[in-house]
Amino acid sequence: MRYVLLRIAAGVATLLAVSVLVFFGANLLPGNAAEVALGVRAGDPAALQAALKSAGLDQPVAIRYWSWLTGLLHGDLGVSMVSHQPVANLVGPRLGNTLVLTGCLLVLLIPVSLALGTWSAMRKDTMVDQVVGTGTMWFLSTPEFVVGTFLVLIFASWLRILPSVSMLNPRLTALEQPHLLALPVLAMLIVGAGQLTRLVRASTIEVLQSDFVQMAVLRGVPTRTLIIRHVLPNSLGPTVQMLGLALGSLIGGVVVIEMVFNYPGIGTMLVQAVSTRDITTVASLAILISAAYILSNLIADLVAMALNPQLRRGGAF
């Protein structure tokens, strides 16, 4: 409990620092939401002044930050400077789409990475291990937008079996349009599996070299039993922790993938908010993304502690 409370306190401090950096940093960008909204009319002083007041930009940035932060502490994400609608109302549908995309990814990523990582570790220094290692290294070092572009080229341009963009029908849920989810999920799966598979392989090799596994091999324990009863339970703890760290990069990758496929999620909303200088929306989305990253790491650590008694005694923390 003490560890959890310390992690929560550190997470709150991190979110506060993120809010300061993002809010004040966004105000340093050239232009503002009022000028973007007015367009060619931004040269009219009267119209510009009215737009600045409507967006709340006529007040000092410190006052605007404090007003937004106090509202955030009460569960209010503020009002968009562009659409003048509550940010929470705008985020809701986009957040649901991103959660569906991320959920589909995790359903595939975890078993694929565990299977490939374990398979590669069991055949260490063989051709299989070299092929898996080379492939995962290539996927890991390739940016998400490059992977997405290649997938569009193959499946949309050459084979013509999947659409090149994922513009969801707002009348249907994302799960009701699986053909629009296929390429974004596949792109993130390729990149994510490259990272997580290598982590699983390293953790599994360490377990395979332990004394109790070597004794089980000498006793003639079948390979399937060895993996299910001895290797996987002992490698899951470190693997879960690694998954929490990998989710951090995947959250950033979601933003890129959503832009590549024009998927209506949090990532595209964040980029659009930056382009229109909608500082309230940018800061609110940054807080949500940061909180998701912090929470995923905390949950991963707690699951790892539950799986490994040594971690509960403080050995790894």
**pLDDT digits 0-9 by tens, 98-138:** 989 988 988 898 889 888 888 888 888 889 889 988 888 88
pLDDT score of 182:
92
CB-CB contact of 164 with 263 (8 Å): no
What residues pair up with 79 in beta bridges, in sequence order? 86
Q: Which has the closest alpha carbon to 193: 237, 238, 151, 133? A: 133
Radius of gyration of the chain from Cα atoms? 24
- All structural domains of the chain: 2-73 (no CATH), 94-312 (1.10.3720.10)
Q: Report the Cα–Cα distance between both ends of the chain, in Å, rounded.
A: 13
**pLDDT digits 0-9 by tens, 280-302:** 999 999 999 899 888 888 887 77
Tokens of 279: 């500082």
pLDDT score of 128:
87
Cα–Cα distance between 199 and 244 in angstroms, integer? 12
pLDDT score of 28:
86
pLDDT score of 282:
93
pLDDT score of 49:
81
CB-CB contact of 104 with 185 (8 Å): yes
pLDDT score of 308:
61
* pTM assigned to the model: 0.81
Tokens 């106090």 sit on residue: 70
Q: Which residues of the chain have pLDDT under 70?
A: 40-43, 237-242, 244-246, 248-249, 304, 307-317
Report residue 217 CA to chain centroid gap: 39
Q: Which has the closest alpha carbon to 36: 279, 306, 302, 307? A: 279
Q: Which amino acid is at 78?
A: G
Cα–Cα distance between 280 and 68 in angstroms, integer? 7
pLDDT score of 311:
55
Cα–Cα distance between 187 and 184 in angstroms, integer? 5
Dihedral (CA of 234, 236, 237, 239) sign? positive
CB-CB contact of 161 with 155 (8 Å): yes
